[in-house]
Amino acid sequence: MNGKVLLGTCGSDVHSVANSLVEKCLVDIGIQVRNLGVAVSMTEWVNATAEFNPDLLMVGSMNGDLQPLVELVSSIVDVGYQPNQIIVGGKLRLGSDGPSLIPFIAASGVHVIESENPTFAELQRIVSSKLMNINVEVNANFAR
């Protein structure tokens, strides 16, 4: 599978186990992953996006600290990415912001993985299908 994914958590989230495993499951199917790690600042996300030029960005949250995630999505869109190039997942409902912010994030066009325990096969399927759609859109743009 061709494609580049920028991966990490933001805000106050320092959970690195899920982050490492998601990296491994994507690398296993041939995706090029740059893993920024945990508690990545907005500036680091934006700079890494400009430098790595990923097809997709995947932001995890295992502590449900969603406000920084909303701000991150907005910053990424500001630098020219489409919301549908962003995937968020993890324990999104853990914090108090979950019920109000999850529908807001989803409504903006970001792909929200609502299941807290998706299998790696599901995750690989979601990412592969996203990458295929993005490549199709890119090819269609070239055709025009």
Partner 1 sequence: MSKLMPTSRDKRYYENSTSPLVQPRGGRSTVFEQSKLWLALEDAGADILPLTIDSKTRLGQLESAASAYETATRTRTETLNGFPLLSVPISEAKEMILATRLPVSLRHGTPMAENLVKRALEVGVKEIEGGPLSYSIPYSRNADLVEVIKSWKSVENLCYQSRDLIVRENFGILTACLVPPIQAVLTNVLECSFTIEFQGGIPMASFGATGNRVQDIASIEAFKQVFQWFIERRNLTFIDPMIAFHHWMGPFPRDEGNALKIIEDGTYTAQLVRAEKVVVKTAVEALGVPTIEKNAEAVKTVQGFLASTDSSQKSSTADTLYVEEEVKCLVSEAKLLLEQLLKDYKQTEEIILNSVLSGYIDPPFAPHQSCLRGLKSLRAKDGSVRICRDFPGRHSENFVEREFAISKKEWSNSSADEIVTDIQFPGFDKLKV
Among 1, 2, 14, 104, binds partner 1 (CB under 8 A): 14
- Binding range to partner 1, per CB under 8 A, among 48-56, 63-71, 102-110, 136-144: 63-71
The nearest distance, CB 16 to partner 1, in angstroms, is 4
Rounded CA separation 44/66 (Å): 18
Rounded CA separation 117/96 (Å): 20
Residue 95 in the binding site for partner 1 (CB under 8 A): yes
Residue 91 in the binding site for partner 1 (CB under 8 A): yes
The nearest distance, CB 45 to partner 1, in angstroms, is 13
Residue 69 to residues 20, 66, 75, 89, 141, Cα–Cα distance (Å): 19, 5, 10, 11, 30
* Cβ atoms of residues 37 and 8 within 8 Å: yes
Rounded CA separation 88/126 (Å): 11
> What is the DSSP code string of 60-81?
EESS---HHHHHHHHHHHHTT-
Question: Which residue, 16 or 84, is less far from partner 1 as judged by CB?
Answer: 16
Residue 72 in the binding site for partner 1 (CB under 8 A): no
Among 47, 96, 133, 135, binds partner 1 (CB under 8 A): 96
Calculated CA dihedral for residues 73, 108, 98, 59, nearest 10 degrees = -30
Q: What residues numbered 105-124 form the site for partner 1, per CB under 8 A? A: 119-121
Q: What residues numbered 22-61 form the site for partner 1, per CB under 8 A? A: 22, 24-25, 28, 37-40
Contacting positions for partner 1 (CB under 8 A): 11-14, 16-17, 19-22, 24-25, 28, 37-40, 63-65, 67, 91, 93-96, 119-121
